[in-house]
Structures are given as C-alpha cells and as structure tokens.
Amino acid sequence: MIATLFLLLLGTLFGLLIEKNKRIVNLTNKLLLFVIYLLLFSLGISIGKNKILIKIFFKVGLESLIIAMFGIMGSAIFAYIIQKTFFEKK
C-alpha cells in the first residue's frame, strides 16, 4: 500500500515537471495507451484460461453489461445535475 501511494505521488510530481514539454507528454500518453492495451490483453488471456468462467461467460457478461450501463447512466445523470447546479451561470 505504501509503495502504491509512493508511486502515485512520484507520478504526480513527474507530471507536474513535464506538463510544459508537449513532446514528453505525447510520448507518455502513447506509452500509457500501450500499457493499457497490454493489461487488457493479459486479462483476456487469464479469462480464456479459466474454464469455469468461459462456461458462464454469457450469463456473467450480460449481468456485467447491465450493471455497467446503470453505472454509466447514474454517473451521467449525477454529472448533469452537478453541472447545472454549480457550474452554469444563472
């Protein structure tokens, strides 16, 4: 836990230092996107190896989709309310 918080703080400080250098920021964004794709690929491999999960994939997938859709709708509604309440000039 301490290592995670330390790395988060270190990354934040690094971000503050490089925010003016657009070349490094663009490189960092591309690297981040690549790492996210790599993590998603490795997650797919882990799911593919799990025989039980593959058997119940469609049931779990449908339930996950429903939960995700309600989460997205709730977030959008809450963001709209916050925008109207605090950020629009009357």
Determine the pLDDT at residue 90: 62
Q: Is 20 helix (H, G, I), strand (E, B) or coil?
A: coil
- pTM, full prediction: 0.56
Express each pLDDT in 9-57 by its tens digit: 999 998 888 888 889 889 989 999 999 999 999 998 998 898 888 888 7
45 and 60 belong to one structural domain: no
**1 and 42 fall within a common domain:** yes
Q: Tell me what pLDDT residue 33 has.
A: 95
Domain total in the chain: 2
Domain that holds residue 86: 56-90
If asked whether residues 3 and 42 sit together in one domain, one would say yes
Query: Do 43 and 37 form a contact (C-beta atoms < 8 A)?
Result: no
pLDDT at 73: 97
